């Protein structure tokens, strides 16, 4: 018998148990074990019913994603499920944990389903750029109707057992003793000679679906899931379930599944699945590094970031005290946090009780003496080294030994900040992204002296507050903002060469970015970059006259972005919709003329290369300088922090799909035109010369 599938006889019932830790994925040995077990149960005359259950933390959580993209070992899952489906004795799937993807498809191929009330089910394939490829798209609509099936399949969301039972997906719910209850259920079905309920024998009830239902559904999804191929294919398969006989529907499902499996989008999304989990691993941190308990947190500065950061902790059930120097500023921060929870409550996103408790967990103070008991501090005051130094001196004075002191700085040197304390080993950067309560990225900036224990605690904490933590070394802008510089520089340069803000934004939006660089600039405020450039000029930095040239002139005209109603675009009162503005075109034309730059026709492809290739080149430098652990971490930073399109897998994965030799060739061409801002990173040259990818590192 297979090592991962156990067969036991319990009176007249065969109990087939999968044991393939950690999540009972349907690896080749499980598939073979199941086929053998089904055949044995069907043949043994003493057996009158079958229970399929799992050991460990969950029912089967899906196909084995690590086998995807490689030659598939026989038997394939559809064959396994065909064998299960054909069984002549009642079969019961016993669900606990999360029955996902191929796991739920397996359960749907049983005649009946029993579940613990704590269980959940789902078809998350769409999140991997796929569709359920083993009958899920054909069986589920037949069982619960097209509408509910489409919701589950195209969103990939998990439904709790109770909801699934209401839909008719689960036949019986139990609080505990799943195995015993499942065996009793199978026996009951055998004794009553219950019908062998096969989804394939059912018809989808389409009578309540309006005309054009599937076309409209796709239109809605195309907007919501802009650029993604899989959700639309999911709709097609459900439509087939409504219009074709089961076997033909299965064939269509398989065809589309294999198409998606071979697509770059799915490869990108599978890459991100593993990248996200890998990011949590700090390679040089001993596995058993101790972590510190974090039960109470302080945030210094209750501005845009401080208030958002406080919400992140409160949402995770951790009390937070915000400190400000003046009551007025503190009140503003508290009001902003409290109105966020009022809004969640009003929109039904949080129950009134949850929202009130979360709001009550955020308190305020004007005195450092109230911070003696906190386990972690996040400083989010103005971006000035002098002010940060003052704050850290105070923190060093009042915080208890062992408290972790962190800074949310986006540009300042974390080691310099740590140096004013007597405990630099307890200091690190925790760089949140705006809006902090929404964006999932947390750059965990490891200072020169940050201790292993402090780093391990921060990485663990990231998960606790539902963020994806990525370790960065201390360099200018850390991983994300360091890369952003080239992107912004080129966006500004393209304007001077004749591209318009709407053109650049449209190209990048169509590439899949959450928004284009000009819209992003207007949202963040053009005055921020203006001030940074002014400071750099005062410091005597050599800034090329083209850098930020258009933005600077716009700011000088009072056009700071959305907050002033105009920036690269104009905005109507109370609206965030960017409207192209002839005045901006004039400013651009005048600035170009002053700098002696001729306008020309700029292709969409050039816009993509000029903006994305600097990201790739800078990332290669960051990798070889050792400020990021691995290319996939950089992908996670740009996906979760900067709205890079998920279906492109992040800038590193994207570079691999274009081909590093091609990327390098273009970079060299731009270097000839624009100078050493485009100097190729040695790592990129090396990989390209060896015909390798970033993924090979
Ligand atoms: N295949 C291979 N490995 C998997 C896996 C899968 N389906 N699901 C999880 N794992 C691995 C993870 O990579 C991780 O490995 P690591 O410890 O080496 O990093 C380990 O199992 C534990 O996973 P998590 O850290 O995610 O554990 P959680 O307890 O937080 O979550 C889970 C468990 C909810 C099952 C979550 O892992 C999950 O959502 N998994 C993916 C489920 C999925 O997408 N299933 C559909 C697969 S596609 C399919 O079935 C196609 C079919 O239609 C033909
Ligand atoms: P902000 O100006 O909105 O808030 C700063 C707050 O700090 C103000 O409320 C101010 O009253 C308070 N403050 C100033 N000095 C203080 C002191 N000595 N003690 C206590 N409170 C003090 O600024 P924002 O945008 O929240 O930025 C804060 C930090 O976060 C900066 O270091 C910034 O670089 C960083 N950051 C900002 C991001 C953004 O998108 N705004 C993103 C990521 C990091």
Q: Position of tokens 């060093």? A: 396
In terms of Cα–Cα distance, which of 433, 180, 467 is closest to 305?
A: 433
Mean pLDDT of 446-468: 98
Predicted confidence at residue 120, as pLDDT, reads: 98
CA of 61 to the centre of ligand 1 (A): 6
What are the CA-CA distances from residue 623 to residues 10, 392, 652, 682 (Å)? 57, 30, 11, 11
Query: Both tokens of residue 281?
Result: 């691993």
Predicted confidence at residue 72, as pLDDT, reads: 86
Q: Where are the alpha helices (DSSP H) in 514-581?
A: 517-524, 526-538, 549-556
Q: Is the CB of 97 under 6 A from ligand 1?
A: no
Q: Whose alpha carbon is nearest atom 33 of ligand 1?
A: 23
Instruction: Tell me the best of 312, 322, 381, 435 to mutate to test the pocket of ligand 2, counting ligand atoms within 8 Å of each CB and taking the most.
Output: 381
Q: How far is it, in rounded angstroms, from Cα 479 to Cα 619?
A: 8
Per-residue confidence band for 69, with pLDDT thresholds at 50, 70 and 90: confident
Instruction: Tell me the best of 20, 21, 61 to mutate to test the pocket of ligand 1, counting ligand atoms within 8 Å of each CB and taking the most.
Output: 61
- Ligand that comes closest to the CA of residue 57: 1
Q: Is the CB of 98 under 6 A from ligand 1?
A: yes
Residue 264, φ and ψ in degrees, nearest 5: -65, -35
% of the chain with per-residue pLDDT over 90: 95
Q: Which residues contact 672 (CB under 8 A, 6 or more apart)?
A: none
CA of 349 to the centre of ligand 2 (A): 28
Tens digit of pLDDT for each residue in 139-150?
Answer: 999 999 999 999
Mean pLDDT of 268-282: 97
DSSP letter (8 states) at residue 288: T
Q: Which residues contact 31 (CB under 8 A, 6 or more apart)?
A: 73, 75, 76, 77, 80
In contact, 383 and 434? CB cutoff 8 Å: no
Q: How far is it, in rounded angstroms, from Cα 161 to Cα 167?
A: 10
Q: How many CA atoms lie within 13 A of 601 on its CB side?
A: 1
In terms of Cα–Cα distance, which of 469, 524, 494, 697 is closest to 613?
A: 494
Mean pLDDT of 35-50: 97
Mean pLDDT of 435-464: 97
Q: CB under 6 Å to ligand 2: residues? A: 300-306, 323-325, 329, 380-383, 387, 390-391, 408-410, 432-434
Per-residue confidence band for 1, with pLDDT thresholds at 50, 70 and 90: low
At residue 427, the 3 state secondary structure works out as strand
Q: Whose alpha carbon is nearest atom 44 of ligand 2?
A: 410
Question: Is there a catalytic annotation at residue 125?
Answer: yes
Q: How far is it, in rounded angstroms, from Cα 374 to Cα 395?
A: 11
Predicted confidence at residue 529, as pLDDT, reads: 87
Query: Both tokens of residue 622?
Result: 């960051």
Tens digit of pLDDT for each residue in 582-630?
Answer: 999 999 999 999 999 999 999 999 999 999 999 999 999 999 999 999 9
In contact, 4 and 20? CB cutoff 8 Å: yes
In terms of Cα–Cα distance, which of 415, 392, 430 is closest to 308?
A: 430
**What is the chain's alpha carbon radius of gyration, rounded to the nearest angstrom?**
29
Question: Is there a catalytic annotation at residue 443?
Answer: no
Q: Whose alpha carbon is nearest atom 14 of ligand 2?
A: 381
CA of 23 to the centre of ligand 1 (A): 6
């Amino acid at each position: 018998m297979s090592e991962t599938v156990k067969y036991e006889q319990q009176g007249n019932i065969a109990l087939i148990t999968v044991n393939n830790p950690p999540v009972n994925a349907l690896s080749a040995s499980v598939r073979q074990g199941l086929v053998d077990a089904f055949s044995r149960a069907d043949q043994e005359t003493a057996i009158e019913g079958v229970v399929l259950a799992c050991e460990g933390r969950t029912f089967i959580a899906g196909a084995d994603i690590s086998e995807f993209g490689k030659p598939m070992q026989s038997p394939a899952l559809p064959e396994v499920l065909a064998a299960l489906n054909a069984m002549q004795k009642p079969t019961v799937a016993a669900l606990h944990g999360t029955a996902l993807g191929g796991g739920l498809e397996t359960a749907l191929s049983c005649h009946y389903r029993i579940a613990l009330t704590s269980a959940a089910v789902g078809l998350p394939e769409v999140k991997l750029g796929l569709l359920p490829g083993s009958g899920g798209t054909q069986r589920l609509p037949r069982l619960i109707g097209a509408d509910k099936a489409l919701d589950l399949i195209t969103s990939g969301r998990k439904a709790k057992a109770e909801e699934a039972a209401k839909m008719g997906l689960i036949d019986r719910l139990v609080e505990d003793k799943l195995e015993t209850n499942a065996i009793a259920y199978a026996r009951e079905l055998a004794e009553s000679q219950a019908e062998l309920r096969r989804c394939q024998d059912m018809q989808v009830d389409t009578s309540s679906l309006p005309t054009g239902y599937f076309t409209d559904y796709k239109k809605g999804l195309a907007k919501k899931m802009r650029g993604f191929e899989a959700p639309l294919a999911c709709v097609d398969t459900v439509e087939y379930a409504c219009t074709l006989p089961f076997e033909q529907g299965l064939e269509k499902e398989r065809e589309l599944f294999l198409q998606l499996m071979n697509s770059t989008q799915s490869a990108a999304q599978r890459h991100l699945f593993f990248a996200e989990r890998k990011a949590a691993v700090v390679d040089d941190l001993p596995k058993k590094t101790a972590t510190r308990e974090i039960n109470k947190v302080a945030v210094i500065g209750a501005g845009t970031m401080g208030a958002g950061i406080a919400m992140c902790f409160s949402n995770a059930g951790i009390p937070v005290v915000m400190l400000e120097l003046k009551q007025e500023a503190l009140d503003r921060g508290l009001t902003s946090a409290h109105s966020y929870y009022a809004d969640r409550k009003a929109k039904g996103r949080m129950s009134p009780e949850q929202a009130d408790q979360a709001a009550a967990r955020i308190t305020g103070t004007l005195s450092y003496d109230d911070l003696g008991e906190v386990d972690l501090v996040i400083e989010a005051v103005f971006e000035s080294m002098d002010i940060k130094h003052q704050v850290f001196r105070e923190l060093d004075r009042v915080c208890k030994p062992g408290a972790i002191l962190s800074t949310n700085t986006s540009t300042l040197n974390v080691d310099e900040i740590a140096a004013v304390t007597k405990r630099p080993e307890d200091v690190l950067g925790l760089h949140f992204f705006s809006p902090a309560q929404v964006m999932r990225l947390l750059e965990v900036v490891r200072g020169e002296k940050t201790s292993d224990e402090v780093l391990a605690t921060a990485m663990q904490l990231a998960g606790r507050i539902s963020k994806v933590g990525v370790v960065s070394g201390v360099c200018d802008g850390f991983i994300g903002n360091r890369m952003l510089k080239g992107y912004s520089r080129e966006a500004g340069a393209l304007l001077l060469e004749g591209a318009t803000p709407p053109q650049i934004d449209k190209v990048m939006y169509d590439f899949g970015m959450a928004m284009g660089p000009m819209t992003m600039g207007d949202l963040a405020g053009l005055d921020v970059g203006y001030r940074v450039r002014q400071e750099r000029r005062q410091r005597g930095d050599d800034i090329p006259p083209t850098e930020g040239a258009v933005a600077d002139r716009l700011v000088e005209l009072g056009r700071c972005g959305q907050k002033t109603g105009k920036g690269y675009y104009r905005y109507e009162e109370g609206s965030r919709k960017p409207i192209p503005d002839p005045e901006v075109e004039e400013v651009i034309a005048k600035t170009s003329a002053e700098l002696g730059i001729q306008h020309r026709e700029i292709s969409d492809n050039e816009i993509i290369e000029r903006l994305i290739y600097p990201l790739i080149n800078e990332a290669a430098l960051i990798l070889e300088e050792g400020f990021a652990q691995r290319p996939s971490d950089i992908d996670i930073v740009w996906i979760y922090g900067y709205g890079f399109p998920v279906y492109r897998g992040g800038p590193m994965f994207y570079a691999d799909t274009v081909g590093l030799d091609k990327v390098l060739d273009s970079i060299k061409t731009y270097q000839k035109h624009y100078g050493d801002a485009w100097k190729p990173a040695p790592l990129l040259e090396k990989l390209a010369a060896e015909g390798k990818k970033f993924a090979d590192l």
